Structure 1
């Protein structure tokens, strides 16, 4: 009787772990956490067909303030929506040939925020012509649109 109870308890435990793992792997769940990814991680992101949100920082030092402002907006929106996201810095690459190579793989320009499903860019939020007082609200709308379109 005790052995049977223990087997049931172990089964329920593993079932719970599998459920939590499945839930936490969704691009639409989290706590608004930002994760910086390096060259290999962003390459794996595409090749291993992962899903999630990715901001690409500019390789130009002159764009650093713009990147910081955009990341503030994204961070606030992601926290409000409880969605984690990734950041990749094109500036971490050795030369412009490498930047071009990664752009070919990602299909995403710098200073943009994209959503990937199965390693493929599905939609991109472009900050051009964005009014700063509406940035957070528009990013939250972007999160909601992606969730409605691609969530299980």
Structure 2
């Protein structure tokens, strides 16, 4: 059976690492409806973009289930929270896909976070891919 994590952390050191981050999000959300996966990917991209543009320093993205039907994505940056007006379209995207999102001051920095509604993963009807065996005809 394929083990799907219920949370992960990933260090991002620049925009070139967003593709690997997206792969991890898709893997974690295997079995979730495609439109929910897209919403989670968009929220992750926007939060990561805000973090990078605010600091230009590596940061850690955390993604995990926050209940049966919600994904929480967050990062903590060593910077003051950017003004909402400075977020451009990121604020509009997060308003459209997140149930809640925000910027919470922390000692020495800011936590950027978003809660994105998603359907719980559906168990596959058949065997997991790693349980399928192909045999050669006799």
TM over 0.5, shorter chain: no
Q: Which one has a larger percent helix, Structure 1 or Structure 2?
A: 1
Query: Please, what TM-score do these two structures have when normalized by structure 1?
Result: 0.29
Q: What is the TM-score normalised by the length of structure 2? A: 0.31
Is the strand fraction higher in 1 or 2?
2
